[in-house]
Structure 1
């Protein structure tokens, strides 16, 4: 299932529901239908950025414990034939940019409508 985010401030953003759920759960929102008002956009941006920083710190600590550089981890995956993992920050980026535009232009972000 897909979730389509809409705002007058930016182009539509489409995500698989399972990926959108990670972000929307962080914001306390339902995946089926919802709104992030212009007033809520700043807090939503801060929450997503905080989660990105937290996950990046965890990944760096894990890589350090395993004695590998983060960039080397991707090389190891290529050698074993495994697909690299798409990071939360990469998945969240389009919605984060939409939220920044919505915040700047005082517009809501809606989905499921």
Structure 2
């Protein structure tokens, strides 16, 4: 390379890094909001913790799947992971609510889970 010239990576790479940083910051805020709303809904701190643990399990499975297939963690994969997190939260809240309804109807914990 001639003197006075340099290589600077920008464009798509720069936009990808900015998107990852933005999504990372927003995910922390969204995680806190989900925890607060779930705690208010269930009047408990353990049930929202269960939902958050399920998010981490889903994320680890998604990242493991990307690693096994050799797919890079691009914007579309990150968008899929964010969507997966939303689905996991919704399903976790619905399942915990159904378990709570079963318990109020007099079912044992094991029967309410099944």
TM-score, normalisation: structure 1: 0.35
TM-score, normalisation: structure 2: 0.35
Higher helix share: 2
Higher strand share: 1
Q: Which has the larger radius of gyration?
A: 2
